[in-house]
Amino acid sequence: MKIYLYIIILILLCGNVLSSESIFNVNNIKIEKNDTQTLENSFKKAFEKFSQRVLLEEDSRIVSKINSNQIKNLISHYQIVNKKENNKDVATLNLFFDKKKINEFFLKKNVSYSDLFNLDFVIMPVHQIKDDIYIYNKNFFYDNWVLNNQNNSEVLQYVMPIENIENIRLIKNYKDNLEDLKLEEVLKDYDLKNSALILIFERENEFKVFIKSIVSNKKVNYNFSINKRNQNNLVTKNKVIIEIKNKILEISKSQNLIDLSTPAFFNSKLKINNLNNLMNVQKILDQIDLIEYFSVEEIINKEVKLKIKYYGRIDKIIKVLEEKGLSIKNINNSWLIELT
């Protein structure tokens, strides 16, 4: 019993340490000079990068008026890394925002944030010019999609389908009515829960774009146009890619927003087979951004009663726990957790 008590005390002292892969972590902000004013500017850049990554565009504008003192209050800790770049000394800032303070700040501003991070997203762009359809070969959008990824790089990791003769035949069969092409048919060999079929129709004066997507297993469609405005065609095509990526990012965020006004509690029992189990589970819970805190309520024999405060839907928190290596079962209306 003394050993179990020691473990509980250690958990309380450690608290929830932010993971280096947490959405609350911002890396590689360049610092031009090592002085107070420049450091504050770097803090502001870090907050802008963070808010643009997790918030919808409209909500990002709402919080953009935050001052330096408010930003500093939201920071948990940071580190400055000095390194050589092109024979020059360069300092970069790695910063960790305090999860609880960020939640309180966003709640006061009445905004919700997305917990997406490094999500694999399958994308299939199809380009049509008059009667010609470009799928894999000579398809500018297919060839250049992963370039200039901008803010998407930390949120969405794009997966491009490999060339498939069956797909080429399928798509060309829809030559006269490409809008009727189904995402589920084109990407049937891939995980569809986060995917999009992008139909790009190039006209004389504009690009018309049709996005058929599935985000978190929900179908979401979006259409828009971009005028050429006598710009260089290459410049306009790159602009089309950026705009499509921004739309997909907004759609993905909108389907994964966390409602901070309604936190919930996940009461469960953890089976302990050896003394390391509880500490291993703690490490897993510390890595999950949806969890604000957890506590050990009671230890009886080889069972620990855990109380977990989290944000979002119960099905999502269970999915995240399972992805981290925990087995979650509901037995007689009671949740049971085991290490797999």
CATH classification at residue 280: 3.30.70
The answer on 179 and 246 residing in a single domain is: yes
Amino acid 84: pLDDT: 78
CB 74 within 8 A of CB 97: yes
List of long-range contacts for 325-332, beta carbons under 8 Å, 24+ apart: 325/284, 326/281, 326/284, 328/268
- 18 within a domain of the structure (yes/no): no
d(CA 252, CA 288): 19
Look-up: residue for tokens 């230890």?
A: 299
Same domain? 73 vs 134: no
pLDDT score at 8 = 41
Whether residues 137 and 248 fall in one domain = yes
Residue 1's pLDDT is 46
Residues 172 and 274 reside in one and the same domain = no
The pLDDT score that the predictor gives to residue 33 is 65
The answer on 216 and 172 residing in a single domain is yes
Same domain, 92 and 192: no
Contact 142/136 with Cβ under 8 angstroms? yes
Element (H, E) at 336: strand 334-339
Given 113, 131, 162, the domain boundary residue is 113
Looking at the fold, whether 282 and 227 belong to one and the same domain comes out as: no
Q: Based on the structure, what is the number of domains in the chain? A: 3
154, 253: one domain: yes
Residue 191 and residue 206 share a domain: yes
> Do residue 281 and residue 326 come from a single domain?
yes
Domain boundary among 74, 94, 113: 113
Cβ atoms within 10 Å of 307's Cβ, excluding its own: 14
Write the CA distances from 279 to 14, 137, 251, 285, integer angstroms.
11, 52, 37, 10
For residue 12, tell me if it sits in a domain.
no
pLDDT at position 152: 56
Report strand pairing: 88-97 vs 25-31.
antiparallel
Among 113, 132, 154, the domain boundary falls at 113
**pLDDT at position 18, please?**
39
Grouped pLDDT means (10 residues each) for the chain, 340 residues: 42 42 87 73 94 95 94 94 81 93 95 91 96 95 81 80 94 93 94 96 94 94 89 86 94 93 90 80 89 89 90 88 91 86
Do 108 and 125 belong to one domain? no
Range of the domain at 277: 264-339
Q: Angle, to 10 degrees, between the axis of helix 277-286 and the axis of helix 2-14?
A: 10
Query: Whole-prediction pTM value?
Result: 0.83
* H helical segments located in the chain: 2-14, 36-54, 57-63, 68-74, 99-108, 140-144, 165-173, 183-186, 233-254, 277-286, 314-323
Residue 204: alpha-carbon gap to chain centroid: 36
Q: Are residues 137 and 237 in the same domain?
A: yes
